[in-house]
Amino acid sequence: MERYVAAIEISSSKIIGVVGRVHGAGQVDIIAVEQEKCVESVRYGVIQNLEETSMRIARILEKLEHKPSISPRRISRLFIGLSGRSLRSIPTNVRISLPEDTEISEEILARLRKDAFNVSIDSSLEVVDAVARKYKIGKLETASPKGVIGNEIQANYDIIVCRPELKRNITRAVKDKLGIDIAGFVVTPLAAGHLILSTEEKRLGCMLVDIGAETTTVTIYRNGALNYFATLPFGGRNITRDITSLTLLEEKAEELKMTLGNAIAPENPSSLNLSGIKIAEVGNLVVARSEEIVANIVEQISYAGLKEKDLPGGIVCIGGGAKLNGMTDLISLRLGGLPVKLGRLPSYVHLEDVKGPSSEIVEVASVLYAGATLTSASCLETPAKEELPAIGEANEPEEPRERPARKAESGSNKIISKIKLGLAGLFRNPEDDDDSGLLE
C-alpha cells in the first residue's frame, strides 16, 4: 500500500513544502513541491511573525493539495525541519552499570540515550536530539554495541540543543493556528548529512556546510559518526545587504550578486558600469564578505580539534549561499586544495515535480526522507466518499459547500480571511535505539 508523507522547511528566506510517496527498499518519490518567500517574518530560522508565517504555510498546503498527484487527499500532518542560529551540539558522556555478563540489548541502548537527553544543561536551552559518537563496553570500543556482553556500557553523545522558542513558535504557527498535526521535528543538518553524505565520506572524515540566507551550519563527521555541530550567525544575505549600500533595493542587490558576483577576486577587475553601478564595487563587496564567511567556516575545523588533513573525504556544500560563483572554489583554496562539491540528492530520492533544480530542495527533502524511512507515519488522508441517494429517491437541492477552512486561532478570523483572499489570487522515540539521530 502506498504511503504519503509531507514536510516543510522554514528558513529565513523561504518556506518550502513537499509531499513524497514512499516505496519499499527506502525509495521516495517527491511528487509535489511548493514554496513561498519569507524574508521578514522569519529571522535566523526563528519565526517572528506567527500570523504571516502561518498564512504562507497555509497557502503552500492549499497549492500542494490542489495538485493532481495529491487531490482529493488532504495534508493532515507534517514533518518539520529544525534549523536556526541557536542549534548547536554539546558533547557529553553517559554510563550504565549492568549485572555481570549482560548482553547489550535495544532496551539498554534506549536507556542510555534517554540518560543523554536528561543531562543537566543551561536552563535556557532545550535538548532536541542525542547522537552517539562511540560506545565502550568494558575495554572494547565499538560503533555497534548491540549483542556485546559486558557489565558496563558508556557512550559519548553529542546532544543537540536549541532555544525553546524555535520549536514553540513553529508549533503555534502550524498546530495552533492551522490545526495541522506535527508528525515530528527533524534536525535538518543531521537529516541532510544522513541523506547526501556517503558512508565512505563519513568514515574518512568530511564536513557538510549549509550556507543559508542568515545562518551557516557546519557538521563534521569522522569514523562514521558526527564529530562536531555548530551554527554560525551569517549567510548569503549578508553579502546581499552589503551590496544594498550602493543605494540598491535588496531584490536588485540579490540579482547582481548571483549574476555578476564572484567569491574570488578577478585578476582584472571590470571597469563597466551598470545603470550607474560600478561592477568592480559590487565585486569588491562580494569578495570581502565571502572571505569572511569562508574564514569562519574553516575555523570550525580548529574548534572541533581537527586539522585539514583529518578530512580526506572533503567538503560538501548545500544551501543558496553555496551556489554563489566561486564559493566552493574559495573554500577549497582556503583548505589547501581539499575537494569541495555541491551536495545532490541520491538516486533513491526521485524528484517528479520539476519546478526547480533538486539542489534547491536538499534540506526539505532530507526532512521528508527522515520522516518517511525512520517512521511509519502517513501524512495525507482521503476524505470519506459521500453516499449516493437510493434510486428513485428525491433530494432537496443543496447549497454549494466550500472546502473547510484550516483552523485559526481562537477568537481571530483575520488569518482565515487573509488566506481566502490570497487563494482567490527522527519517529523515533527518544527511548528507541539511535539509528541516524535525526528525529525527535
Q: Which residues pair with 47 in a beta bridge?
A: 42
Handedness of CA 53, 88, 307, 93 (dihedral sign): negative
Please give the grid coordinates belonging to residue 439: 528525529
CA count, 13 A, side-chain hemisphere, 420: 12
Beta strands 225-232 and 277-278: pairing type?
A: unpaired
- Report pLDDT for 437: 55
Rounded to whole angstroms, the Cα distance separating 216 from 184 reads 23
- Report pLDDT for 24: 76
Q: Are 30 and 9 in contact (CB under 8 A)?
A: no
- Report pLDDT for 219: 97
Match 548529512 to its residue by C-alpha cell.
193
Domain boundaries, the chain: 3-85+165-192+347-381, 88-162, 198-342
pLDDT tens series, the chain, 440 aa? 689 999 999 998 899 999 999 987 779 999 999 999 887 889 888 999 999 999 999 999 999 999 999 999 999 999 999 999 999 999 999 999 999 899 999 999 999 999 999 998 888 999 999 999 999 998 899 989 999 999 999 999 999 999 999 999 999 999 999 999 999 999 999 999 999 999 999 999 999 999 999 999 999 999 999 999 999 999 999 999 999 999 999 999 999 999 999 999 998 888 888 888 999 999 999 999 999 999 999 999 999 999 999 999 999 999 999 999 999 999 999 999 999 999 999 999 999 977 667 888 999 999 999 999 999 999 999 887 765 555 555 555 444 434 445 554 444 444 444 444 343 444 443 334 444 456 66
Rounded to whole angstroms, the Cα distance separating 252 from 255 reads 5
**155: exposed, middle or buried (Cβ count in 10 Å: 0-12, 13-18, 19+):** buried
* CATH code for residues 88-162: 3.30.1490.110
pLDDT tens-digit series, residues 258-317 = 999 999 999 888 888 888 899 999 999 999 999 999 999 999 999 999 999 999 999 999
Q: Are 362 and 297 in contact (CB under 8 A)?
A: no
Tell me if domain 3-85+165-192+347-381 and domain 198-342 are identical in fold.
yes
| CATH superfamily, region 3-85+165-192+347-381 | ATPase, nucleotide binding domain (3.30.420.40)
Rounded to whole angstroms, the Cα distance separating 162 from 254 reads 30
Name, in order, each residue with C-beta under 8 angstroms of 26's C-beta and a sequence gap of 6 or more.
Answer: 348, 373
Report pTM: 0.86
Q: Are 64 and 424 in contact (CB under 8 A)?
A: no
Beta strands 206-211 and 273-274: pairing type?
A: unpaired
Amino acid (1-letter code) at residue 178? L
Compute how many other C-beta atoms are within 10 angstroms of the C-beta atom of residue 222. 20
- Report pLDDT for 409: 45
Q: Which residues pair with 229 in a beta bridge?
A: 219
Q: Are 152 and 95 in contact (CB under 8 A)?
A: yes
| CATH superfamily, region 198-342 | ATPase, nucleotide binding domain (3.30.420.40)
Amino acid (1-letter code) at residue 153? I
Rounded to whole angstroms, the Cα distance separating 415 from 417 reads 5
